Amino acid sequence: MSRIALLLVLLSLWSSLPSAQANEYPLRDDGGGLFGEVKRIQTRYEDTLIQLARQHSLGYEELLRVNKGVDPWLPGAGTEILIPGQRLLPPGVREGIVVNLPEHRLFYFPKPEKGKPPVVLTFPVSVGKMDWNTPLGVTKVVRKQKNPPWYPPESVRKEHIKRGDPPLPAVVPAGPDNPLGTRSMRLDIPGGAYLIHGTNNPDAVGMAITHGCLRMYPEDIERLFDLTPVGTRVTLINEPVKISRFGGEVWLEVHPPVDEKGQVLTVDIEVFEARLNELLGESEVIIDWEMALRALREATGMPVLVGLELVPEGAAEPEVPATAAASVPAQRP
């Protein structure tokens, strides 16, 4: 291969990866939970949805879900692709690492640097598959390791034999064949070796495919590894329905819910109503129930505007940030 050809290949690979700042967003002073933006891009002939998902810090299934009808392997040149880069913050404490399992997404809330506004970093993750669920609850990072070896548990080795796969060795050394990738962070969860780690199969990031660990793109785990000290709080939640108020608006984000065994369920409307009542309190809000129910049925994972807060006569209209207002038309089904 010539030097020019090699350079072109390297540039192509480099351009397919997200920038270091692509996953980082400032938190709003008023506590509003909507951030990011929705974009529409035109594909090149050589693009695939797997490549585009990684380039835009998304999981493959996350991108496929909002681009129905597009050939994932050969979308062709000039095909319009929706990039669902807008989302709501998860409910609960905004501290350390928060992983929302139905969303297949990790949120990291670092301690704010002096003189700088707080931020959130977010990354797609793979989670436990059916019968190998990722445990819920609050834990912490107890160990970090670069280039970790993998010691396949006996249960995983038996599973491989049962499937007819070649037997796994007692230990897989660090290297390109190691499924833990280049970094691992062990969680303080009894009864198993649960890790946040990299991968040698980045195409599967964003799926329910692991044996309970949280799998990340290589570039994402390396960044998170450098930012996260041992002792960092880790909260694992199961919240398929997220609701947030933002500049006098009510936004709803729904993901396909799963039970403790990883089986896909339908969204419980009572869960939505309870969360809505908790959020709104005594506020007077107009809810577009047709839009809300459609969002619950479709569960695309994209935030949808479903309500507006009533403004008392004579009161000033709430300010809606330009990023939110500009993105509204792209998100309404």
Q: Which domains does the chain have, with CATH numbers?
A: 92-238 (2.40.440.10), 241-331 (no CATH)
pLDDT value of residue 62:
93
Rounded CA-CA distance 225/6 in Å is: 30
pLDDT at position 4? 43
- What pLDDT score was predicted for residue 259? 66
Residue 68 contacts by C-beta under 8 Å, 6 or more apart in sequence? none
Q: Which residue, among 309, 158, 139, has the nearest Cα to 233 in the 3D structure?
A: 139
95 is written with which tokens? Answer: 């501290």
Could you give the residue ranges of the DSSP H alpha helices within the chain?
3-15, 49-55, 60-65, 154-163, 218-227, 269-280, 289-298, 322-331
Please state, in angstroms and rounded to a whole number, the distance separating the CA atoms of residues 307 and 295: 13
In 184-197, which positions are buried (b, 16+ CB within 10 angstroms) versus exposed (e)? bbbbebeeeebbbb
Q: 208 exposed, middle or buried (CB, 10 Å; 0-12, 13-18, 19+)?
A: buried
Active site residues: 197, 213
User: Residue 244 belongs to what H/E stretch?
Assistant: strand 241-246
Query: Which value, to the nearest 10 degrees, does the dihedral of the CA atoms of residues 315, 316, 317, 320 take?
Result: -140
> Degrees (nearest 5) of the Cα angle 263, 277, 252?
55
Q: Which residues contact 7 (CB under 8 A, 6 or more apart)?
A: none
Q: What is the pLDDT along the chain (333 residues), one digit of tens a residue?
A: 455 443 333 334 444 455 445 689 998 876 678 999 999 999 999 999 999 999 999 999 999 999 999 999 999 999 999 999 999 999 988 999 999 999 999 999 999 888 888 999 999 999 987 556 788 899 999 999 999 998 877 777 777 677 767 777 778 888 888 999 999 999 998 876 899 999 999 999 998 878 788 999 999 999 999 999 999 999 999 999 999 887 788 999 999 887 665 556 677 777 778 777 777 776 788 889 899 989 988 999 999 999 998 765 555 555 544 444 333 333 322
Half-sphere exposure of 102 (CA within 13 A, CB side): 23
Structure tokens at 204: 């599967």
Give the pLDDT of residue 22: 67
What is the rounded CA–CA span in Å between residue 276 and residue 291? Answer: 14
Q: Report the length, in residues, of the chain.
A: 333
pLDDT of residue 316: 56
pTM, whole model, 2 decimals? Answer: 0.84
The CA distances from residue 295 to 12, 189, 253, 276, in Å, are 37, 34, 7, 14
- Residues with Cβ within 8 Å of 34's Cβ and at least 6 positions away in sequence, in order, are 86, 87, 88, 244, 246, 251, 303, 324
List the helix and strand counts (H, then E) for the chain. Answer: 8, 19
CA separation for the pair 315, 313 (Å, rounded): 6
Nearest alpha carbon to residue 195 among 111, 100, 105, 126: 126
